[in-house]
Amino acid sequence: MRVTTSLSYEQSIVNLQKRQQELSNSQVQLTSGKRVNKASDDPTAAARAERALTSIARTEANQRAIDASRNVMNIAESAMADSIDLMQSARETLVAIGNGSYTDSERSALANKLAEIRKQLLNVANRPDGGGGYVFGGQGSSSPPFVDTPTGVEFQGQSGEIMASSGEALTLTVDGRKAWLQAKSGNGVFTAAPDSGNSGSAWVTSGAVTNPSQLPYPSSAATPPSYSVVFTVSGSTTTYDVLDDSGTALVSGQPYKAGKAIDIPGLGMSVTISGGPGNGDKFTVGQSEPDLSIFDSLDKAISTLKTAGINNGQVMQAVNTGVTELDSILGNMQGSRSAVGETLNRMDGVESRNSALKLAAKTEKSNAEDLDMTEAISEFTNRQSGYQAALQSYASIQKLSLFQYIG
């Protein structure tokens, strides 16, 4: 084969350009610190890095959701702690009002204290979340969810919770209706209340369950059954009948003794009535319902205790009912607070898993595209030496020309 001078020159230039390109590529890798700078460098590794980058972005979005949820849950936990303290103060005030020696003005002053506690509770219930919403706004509310109306406090939000956009169940609000307005009435199983037309000075406690297996509650009937204790006073003798809702007597003509439990026969319930009932006075027992509002409960107690001239029985009924309802509301609020606390605890695990996923994604991205600096420096040195050798070879070839020799 005939080798011409031009062919030698051309081959030398091709080799020189190739080595120059390799040296340039090594230099780009060293300056960027990455083995893959564009998809054509290694399509498979570039795809792996892209998937890892997507995973990193997803974990960062999840972390923002975790941070937002934690912020709201911390505010909610603090608000519930404040509300529980206020309810405890209201309970202590109600117990103090039960002092039979208080005058109307003294009871009214304590009722005013309850009214101030109610105002504070309303402010807590409408606590903002710092982001334009409200902690107890349910599924969203642009205005305070609890509104004080002439008929009482109403919840004008939407029941439920707003969930964060995340793979985990993270809440951004608390169901205000459930936390503040849906405690169980009575003792949680049944209620015991005086008839509005009673004329005596007797009052009834919340009652007790004596045999759970006999309880008629909870009832699936559209109208749950109810029972009543009706008093008959004749001279110095006071008796009572226990009736069902059809008026049928379960027991009748039983002698009344103040403070002694009265059984609802065969139904696993008893109530305790104290004081002096009037003739025809009636006390009704019914199913407990999850519709007890802290604001309605305080409103009833405040209204009764501010009324001048009420007898001791009416005072004690207001106090007993108020304390029983506050105990139920406190239990409901503590349950909601426990749920918030559990959410905060769960976030620690969610955050730990999210961090582990992010680390794994970063590791995968690094494995796919990052450069081994030791190996790269060695490779760069080799290619630099090769390029220098190519330059020297080209310079030598230029001298091997017939015309140059003749000249």
- Asked whether residue 275 is assigned to any structural domain, the reply reads yes
Is the same domain home to 121 and 243? no
C-alpha to C-alpha distance for 310 and 306, rounded to whole angstroms: 9
Is the same domain home to 168 and 298? yes
Q: pLDDT by residue for the chain (407 residues), tens digit each?
A: 555 666 666 766 776 667 666 666 666 666 666 766 666 666 777 777 778 888 888 888 888 888 888 999 999 999 999 999 999 999 999 999 888 788 889 999 999 999 999 999 999 999 998 888 899 998 877 789 999 999 999 998 888 888 877 767 788 899 999 999 999 999 999 999 999 999 999 999 999 999 999 999 999 898 999 999 999 999 999 999 999 999 999 999 999 999 999 999 999 999 999 999 999 999 999 999 999 999 999 999 999 999 998 888 999 999 999 999 999 999 999 999 999 999 899 888 888 888 888 888 888 876 666 666 676 677 767 777 776 776 776 666 666 566 666 65
* Residue that is last in its domain, among 288, 313, 340: 288
Is the same domain home to 172 and 305? yes
Cross-strand bridge partners of residue 190: 287
Of 291, 294, 287, which Cα lies nearest the Cα of 333?
294
C-alpha to C-alpha distance for 251 and 380, rounded to whole angstroms: 104
Is the same domain home to 138 and 278? no
C-alpha to C-alpha distance for 30 and 46, rounded to whole angstroms: 18
Is the same domain home to 217 and 335? no
Mention every residue, 6+ apart, whose C-beta is less than 8 A from residue 38. Answer: 46
Of 139, 136, 281, 107, which Cα lies nearest the Cα of 202?
281
- Asked whether residue 163 is assigned to any structural domain, the reply reads yes
CATH code for the domain in which residue 120 is found: 1.20.1330.10
**397 φ, ψ to 5°?**
-65, -35
Is the same domain home to 197 and 106? no
Of 293, 33, 271, 261, which Cα lies nearest the Cα of 181?
293
- Asked whether residue 27 is assigned to any structural domain, the reply reads no
pTM for this entry: 0.78
- Asked whether residue 386 is assigned to any structural domain, the reply reads no
Measuring CA to CA, how many Å separate 13 from each of 6, 7, 8, 10, 20?
10, 10, 9, 5, 10
Is the same domain home to 253 and 295? no
Is the same domain home to 205 and 296? no
- Asked whether residue 24 is assigned to any structural domain, the reply reads no
- Asked whether residue 393 is assigned to any structural domain, the reply reads no
- Asked whether residue 64 is assigned to any structural domain, the reply reads yes
**Which domain covers residue 69, as residue numbers?**
34-185+290-370
C-alpha to C-alpha distance for 407 and 395, rounded to whole angstroms: 18
Is the same domain home to 172 and 320? yes
C-alpha to C-alpha distance for 317 and 193, rounded to whole angstroms: 9
- Asked whether residue 396 is assigned to any structural domain, the reply reads no
Domain count, the chain: 2
C-alpha to C-alpha distance for 381 and 365, rounded to whole angstroms: 27
